[in-house]
Amino acid sequence: MLVDRRTVLAGAAALALAPRMAQAAAEPSLARIAQAKGMCFGSTMGLRNFLDPAYRQLNASQCGLIVPETEMKWVALRPDARTFDFAAADRIVDWATSNGMGVRGHTLLWHSERWMPDWVAKHDYGPDPRKEAERLLTEHVATVARRYADRIDSFDVVNEGIDPDTGLLRETALSRHLGAEATIDIAFRAAREAAPRAELVYNDFMTWRADDGRHRAAVLRLLEGMKTRGVPIDGLGVQSHLGSKYSDAPTGLGQVDERAWRAFLDEVVGMGLNLLVTELDVHDNPLPTAIEVRDRAVADHARAYLDLMLSYPACKTVMCWGLSDRYTWLAGSRPRPDGTPKRPCPYDADFRPKPLRAAIAGAFGARPMHG
């Protein structure tokens, strides 16, 4: 049997980590602490990270839920208009379910031109472009949702449909033919039909920051419109990429407006929607270089945030966007100006628990028992 070098190295890394993992496993996992309060905890897993056995083990030991990071997006599933390639998504879903974890689906439609495959814009929509756009969208959503309907209980049906700078719905190749509202509605209706028991979620990155008011207002407008039109939606995915949205913010994690955030959440739950924390991490660029100071600030910020979120009975799911600093998406896309490694996750790059891990566990433990 041929064993490649990467597999050998990964196996060695897993062995080296074994004692630490065994010790960590003796403590209650985040999933178990969450479960004791009627909640689910999980994280994202991308294929690149999935190939690291020690990271798989960390996730299996801490998570009750897994969400594929990229592998269920159009860019991964759809090489062209006729083909579906489920190989990578299936690997992650099969691994999660065979290890007793649930799976969230992300995302049946990323309503943003930038993140859709190029062919969607170049596609020949023919003499009746509206009809063809609807066929393409419905076929995609139905095929993916139906394939995983027995293993996925919750789907991010539409991701990031709003331009936060204008507060308007984005335009894409599909929405230019269908209208933006109709595009979103069609995706949700097709998802409900294909996976009738699944929780259907609109997922976006509005936050509690004082400078995010326009985005929050736009999300409320979208949700209210969907409810008025009778669109089947069950929840709002609050991504929760915390910290300043500006990489070069002078200090601190940005000014938050708790009152505005509560008012926003009150409106959402008033519509009968669940709240899901879907992509928690803390962008630490504006914090000082010293690791202890930074980790403390990240943990305190997240604890205050989670305490607020978990005060809502409708919030029963908390997902991190990666468990370890080794694999965070933020390392590549938002490097720190001082060049030091980013620390946005609950475990460090060597899979050692950080103060953020304790903050998450503490928030779960302190959650009031909601009826």
Q: Which residues bind ligand G3I (CB under 6 A)?
A: 46, 48, 69-70, 73, 115, 159, 239, 279, 329
User: Is 283 exposed, middle or buried, given 0-12, 13-18 or 19+ CB atoms closer than 10 A?
Assistant: buried
In angstroms, give the least distance from the CB of 44 to ligand G3I: 7
d(C-alpha 13, C-alpha 52), whole Å: 9
**Cβ-based neighbour number of residue 112 at 10 Å:** 15
What's the closest the beta carbon of residue 75 comes to ligand G3I, in angstroms? 6
* CB of 72 vs ligand G3I, minimal distance in Å: 10
Nearer to ligand G3I, 33 or 66 (CB): 66
- Residues 329-353, buried b or exposed e (16+ Cβ, 10 A)? bbbeebebeeeeebbbbbbbeebeb
* Residue whose CB is nearest to ligand G3I in the complex, by number: 329
Q: Give CA–CA dist 365/367, Å, rounded.
A: 6
User: Is 159 within 8 Å of 182 (Cβ atoms)?
Assistant: no
- Among residues 71 and 348, whose Cβ is nearest to ligand G3I? 71
Based on CB atoms, which residue is closest to ligand G3I, 159 or 172? 159
Burial, 260: exposed, middle or buried (Cβ in 10 Å; 0-12, 13-18, 19+)? middle
- What is the Cα–Cα distance from 349 to 353, expressed in whole angstroms? 10
- The structure tokens listed for 200 are 């259907």
Minimum Å gap between C-beta 43 and ligand G3I is 11
Smallest separation, CB 356 to ligand G3I (Å): 18
Residue 47 vs 168, nearer CB to ligand G3I? 47
Distance between CA atoms of residues 360 and 371, nearest Å? 22
CB of 38 to ligand G3I, least distance (A): 26
Which residue lies nearer to ligand G3I by CB, 72 or 180?
A: 72
Cβ nearer to ligand G3I, comparing 48 with 151 = 48
Q: Contact, 203 vs 241, CB < 8 A?
A: no
* Nearest approach, Cβ of residue 88 and ligand G3I (Å): 9
Return the number of the residue (49 or 57) whose C-beta is nearest ligand G3I: 49
Chain-centre distance of CA 134, in angstroms? 26
